[in-house]
Amino acid sequence: MSAPTNRPIRSYDEFWPFYLQEHAKPTTRALHYAGTAVSLVCLGAAAVLREPWFLLGALFGGYGFAWVGHFFVERNRPATFTYPLWSLISDYRMTWRWATGRLGGDLVRAGLDPQNS
């Protein structure tokens, strides 16, 4: 179900399974969850404290964890480089679906085994 590599992905519905396949290893996903949590805390702190420096924490914390997962665990190129907005949306979507216990079905539909991938 992965997107063909010789043509761009044209819709978010097509992107989501591709995104999950790029996050096949549980360690990569766990690093994304940690980065997403850091970004949410920093965004909240920026809003409550009215301190824009926390926005940098959201940016570096969120992407830092994710990119470690891609470069050192998954050994692939982050989708952010090609599809930045869809990738950002999918980071939060994947984390939410995991936190609510609904990610397993998405992984199966993307052709992954949630227990061993």
Q: For 26-71, what is each residue's pLDDT tens digit? A: 999 999 999 999 999 999 999 999 999 999 999 999 999 999 999 9
8 Å CB contact between 87 and 95:
no
Q: What is the pLDDT of residues 4-15, one digit of tens each?
A: 456 789 999 999
All residues at 6 or more sequence positions from 51 whose CB lies less than 8 Å from its CB, including other chains = 45
**Whether this model's pTM surpasses 0.75:** yes
For residue 89, give both structure tokens.
Answer: 């949306």
Reference 9, options 68, 84, 63, 76; nearest CA is 84
